[in-house]
Amino acid sequence: MLKVTDLMTNKVFSLQETDNLQTARSIMSLGRIRHIPIVDQDKSFVGLLTHRDLLSVTISKLAEIEAHVQDEIDASIPIREIMRRDVTTIPEDMDLRDAAEILLKHKYGCLPVVRQKRLVGILTEADFLKLTISLMDALEKME
């Protein structure tokens, strides 16, 4: 049986609560990611910031605000103001199927992976899509 550790991403971009939204936006844009785990100084998981969270605090383009003004606003807002704290986490030795069911049932985009409260990885919908493609390729080769 496959385990979470077999599929999770273990090189994870993370930030701290005191970092600001401008930093988070930059990391999401440059890394082309939608989820940033938030950790404390000891790398213990404390929350999650999602692309959707950032969208919820973005001033509408309809307001015709200039990009540098949005950047100034973002630079003044610490992540702790909008991050989610009530996040489901999973252990790295969990069966992968069980983790998939959690994602599907709750419609989560990701599950932070922790060991003794410390962030060790992240499991995302994209990880499962990659696995699905690999499995489909393997099935095609068998035909």
CATH of the domain at 101: 3.10.580.10
When divided into structural domains, the chain yields a total of: 1
Residue 13, phi then psi, degrees to nearest 5: -70, 130
Could you list the residue range(s) of the whole structural domain that residue 60 is in? 4-142
Q: pLDDT tens digits, residue range 76-126?
A: 999 999 999 999 999 999 999 999 999 999 999 999 999 999 999 999 999
Q: How large a percentage of the chain has pLDDT more than 90?
A: 78
Q: Kind and range of the H or E element at 123?
A: strand 118-124
Query: At residue 63, does pLDDT exceed 70?
Result: no
CA R_g for the chain: 17
Q: Which carries the bigger pLDDT value, residue 38 or residue 135?
A: 38
Per DSSP, the chain holds a count of helices (H) and strands (E) of: 5, 4
Query: At residue 49, does pLDDT exceed 90?
Result: yes
Within a 10 A sphere around the Cβ of 75, how many other Cβ atoms? 13
